[in-house]
Amino acid sequence: MSIEANCMTCRKLFRVTPSEPQYYKLKSGQTKLYVCKDCAASLKQEAVQTTGLDPALLDPNKDDKFF
């Protein structure tokens, strides 16, 4: 049921299961790129540090709760 994919960031080989959204894109050939959960989390964290913004603050619907 699972397919193998190399994480494009850490280059490790992962088994991707249907519980992951990326599984279907890999399976159907829409993409060969896979980013594992650890790398996705750190990429997100890096973006936060680069911009100095919390992604939650970028949600316009939440603005009024912070000001």
**Minimum distance, C-beta of residue 67 to Zn ion, in the bound complex (Å):** 37
Nearer of residues 10 and 33 to Zn ion, judged by Cβ: 10
Q: Which residues of this protein are in contact with Zn ion, per CB under 5 A? A: 7, 9-10, 36, 39
Q: Which is nearer to Zn ion, 41 or 53 (CB)?
A: 41
Q: How far is the CB of 51 from Zn ion (least distance, A)?
A: 22
Element (H, E) at 48: helix 37-51
Q: To which residue do tokens 């193998």 refer?
A: 4
User: With contact defined as beta carbons under 8 Å apart, do 2 and 26 qualify?
Assistant: no
Q: How many helices (H) and strands (E) does the chain have?
A: 2, 2
Q: How far is the CB of 19 from Zn ion (least distance, A)?
A: 17
